[in-house]
Amino acid sequence: MYGKGFFVIETPQGPLYTRNGTFRTNQNGQIVDSQGRTVAGEAGPITIPIGIGLSQLNVSSNGSISADGTTIGKFKLVDFEESENKLVPAGASCFRMPENIEPVAAEHIVVKQGYQESSNVKMVDELVNMIMVSRLYESNMKFISAKKEAGSSLMSVAMG
């Protein structure tokens, strides 16, 4: 998935939102996530007709799913505009949204079949940042110790 947006996962506790597009079908032919939860389509759950294998499915860039030229359904893709930083982690690469915020239909998003989104963390950069923070912490601790020692020395001189 390229661009801002999320797939919608239906649960008894309400919708969850994920960018993890690793899906499969359950025994009823519905598209589900790795936890077996139903992936929402624009018109409800997406059910793959009996006899059509996953290799026969085609997912277009707008999230439409087809087999042999027949459209089966379309993934419900949503965005939260400026509220994305309010998403609450819900486990298994999913997020929950606070009740007072509603998602909107995602625009400018491209779904790619057969691809997985990679991490947006650059490991080397984060290791360098961690070392810098550690050194800054050590420097601050030395500064605090020196100030404490200077204060103790000043108090002992003042008390005679």
Is 112 part of a structural domain of the chain? no
Beta bridge partners of 91: 94
Number of domains, the chain:
2
- My answer on whether 101 and 144 are in the same domain is no
User: Chain-wide mean pLDDT for the chain?
Assistant: 86
Query: pLDDT of the chain along its 160 residues, tens only?
Result: 778 889 999 999 989 999 888 898 899 999 999 999 999 999 999 999 888 877 788 898 889 999 888 899 999 999 887 766 778 888 888 888 877 778 888 888 888 777 666 666 788 888 999 999 999 999 999 999 888 888 787 777 777 6
Q: What is the pTM of this model?
A: 0.69
| Tens-digit pLDDT profile for residues 108-135 | 888 877 766 666 678 888 899 999 999 9
DSSP 65-88: EEETTEEEEEB-EEE-GGGGGG-E
- My answer on whether 123 and 101 are in the same domain is no
Is 113 part of a structural domain of the chain? no
- My answer on whether 26 and 82 are in the same domain is yes
Is 114 part of a structural domain of the chain? no
Is 1 part of a structural domain of the chain? no
Is residue 82 packed enough to be buried (19+ CB in 10 Å), middle (13-18) or exposed (0-12)?
exposed
* 3 state DSSP class of 30: strand
Domain that holds residue 77: 6-105
- My answer on whether 20 and 86 are in the same domain is yes
